[in-house]
Structures are given as C-alpha cells and as structure tokens.
Chains A and B, each alone.
Chain A
Amino acid sequence: MTPSTIELPVTVDDYRIARYAAAAIALSVAEAALPSPLPGIKPGLANIIVLVVLARYGWRDAAWVSLLRVVAGSLVIGQFLAPGFFLALAGALCSLAVLALAQHLPLRFFGPVSASVLAAFAHIGGQLVLARVWLVPHDGVWYLLPLFATAALLFGTINGLVAARLLDLPVAPKAAT
C-alpha cells in the first residue's frame, strides 16, 4: 500500500458531521427508490437527521450535514448538477435559513415538530421559486402549491415527530453515562 503523504488534520467535529451526513445520505438514497405520485413530493427522511443535529449540535453542524447530504446524495444517485440537484439545493438552503430563525423559538413551547414543519414549507417554497424562475417560467407552477404544501405539512409533521422521538432517547451509551 502506498503510504499517504498528505495528512489533513481531522477534528472530532469532522468525524461527527461525517457520521451524521452518512446517515442522511443513506436515507436520501433509500428514499430515491420510493415511487412518488408527483415529481418533487418526497418524505424527506434525511431532514430527520438534520433536525437531530440542529437540536444537539447547533445550526452550523446542521448546515454541514444538510449540504453534504445534497451534494453527496446527488452524486450517489447520479443527478449531480442535474435540475433535481439544484432544486434540492435551493430547498435545503431555504430550509436552513428558516431553521436559523426557528432555533430561536422558545424551547418551552416549540419542539422539533415546529422546526420540521417550518423547514418543510421553506423547502417547497425554495424549490417552487427556483422552478418558476428557471425551469418552468410560467405562473402555472403555482397551481401545484396546494399539493406541495399538503405534502410538506404531512411529512414535516411525521419527520418532526420522529426527530423528537430520537432526541427523546438517550444520546449514546458513551454519552449517557
């Protein structure tokens, strides 16, 4: 084996982010196999991981996991730089922006479900705006908004509940002690 000559210093943060990003990528690849009634309506299971990371480690880590998921996930599926990649990126950026605001909601009254639903709405919002501006330059795109919003509410709630349940569990055997 050729010994590596370049050593990149890897911090604990890097390992943690990579581990969560791997989980998010696995979920988004698995999800790509699911049939969808309408292009763009997906459960967005990878966002569960983003929500968990946001609650445990803060927005910076969540942004890393989310964007790594979009880039690496699209590489695995084979749609890197295809329209679907840019739609996913626009959705991820919008939902990260909303999550940056949503994390300041009082924790006493708002849990992961609120963050998840808000992020889901931001996700479809970003995607639809990009689709309107770039892919389908016609106002007819807005006719899809009610369908997308319904899906966002439904899947946002479910993902939020799953994230809340995961956050409710003890973190890990090591950390729990």
Chain B
Amino acid sequence: MKERIPDGLRELLAQAAGAGQVPWRNLLKPGDWLLLVCSAALVTASYPLLWRGGVADRAIVKRDGQLVTELALNAPRKYEVTGAIGTTVIEVQPGRARVLSDPGPRQYCVQQGWLTRANAVAICAPNHVTLQLSGRSGQNGGYDTLNY
C-alpha cells in the first residue's frame, strides 16, 4: 500500500504529521500556558456559578403574605396550612415541593406540580396561601420563573 503513495503526497503527509518540525508544545510560550490555565479555571468556575445557583433548599409557606413556616427540602414530609376557605396541604420531598391539595375551585397551584428551582412559586389565591422555594445563594434572586 505504502509504495502506491506518490512522493509528493507522502512528503505532504509527513509534513502534516509534523515531521522535521518543532513539537506542538514548543509553540506555546510561558504566557500562553498562564493564560490557558487561568481561562480553564474561569470556565470551570462559571459552571457552578451559573448552573447551581438555582438549586432550592427551603420551601417558604405564606398565608396572606405572612410567613407561616419554612420547610427544609431534605426529608419527605407533609404540612397543612389553614387558609381563608380551607386547608392547603404542602408536600415536601428531597429537593422539591408541591401543593398536594387545595380547596380552591380551579386547582391551579395543585396542577403546577413539583417545584424544583429556587424562586419558583405556586400561588393558591382563593385560599390566600403561597408556596415558594428559596435557594442557597441570593445571587439569582432576580427571577420569578424561567421558561424555555
């Protein structure tokens, strides 16, 4: 096979493979290494900064805007709040929370399902009860919800 390759092409291939040239790492100067290491560190740091900020760790239950309780999202439990027209049941599981049942006529907050991101909120307006998740860092507090 090898004999069939024309000399010109073989020379070109050898050149492409780097024969008779300085190795790749010699093309990098000290400042280049420094810049690469710094950039790699910054890029790595940007992942947790931008992606983990939204993890929720507490559920905040309010009635008429007044804080009723704060539930930690690390163990499964249920919590009942008595509101204006009945009892709203909040269910908490590790990392998420939802309104399990509500006396409201349209059931919007129940149908919203599990809340997982920080600052997500389910509002049971007829019963004057809200369930909100809160995150570790306050940096991403600017969002109400995020839609895609």
Contacts and interface: CB of A to CB of B under 8 A. Distances in A.
A105 B40 CA distance: 20
B93 interface: no
Q: Give the dominant DSSP class at A's interface.
A: helix
Q: Considering residues B28, B35, B146, which has the most beta carbons from chain A within 10 angstroms of its beta carbon?
A: B35
B46 A114 contact: no
Nearest to B28: A113
Interface in A99-155: 105-106, 108-114, 117-118, 121, 139-140, 142-143, 145-146, 149-150, 153
A164 interface: yes
Contact of A114 (B32, B43, B142, B143): B32
Contacts, number: 68
Nearest to A151: B43
Contact of B146 (A112, A140, A161, A168): A140
Interface in B131-148: 142-143, 146, 148
Contacts of A161: 24, 27-28
Interface residues of A, number: 28
Contact of B29 (A110, A142, A153): A110
Contact of A111 (B28, B39, B40): B28
B29 A157 contact: no
Contact of B36 (A106, A112, A157, A165): A157
Interface string B106-148: 0000000000000000000000000000000000001100101
Contact of A140 (B32, B39, B47, B148): B148
A108 B47 contact: no
Contacts of A111: 27-29, 31-32
Interface of B: 21-22, 24, 27-32, 35-36, 39-40, 42-43, 46-47, 50-51, 142-143, 146, 148
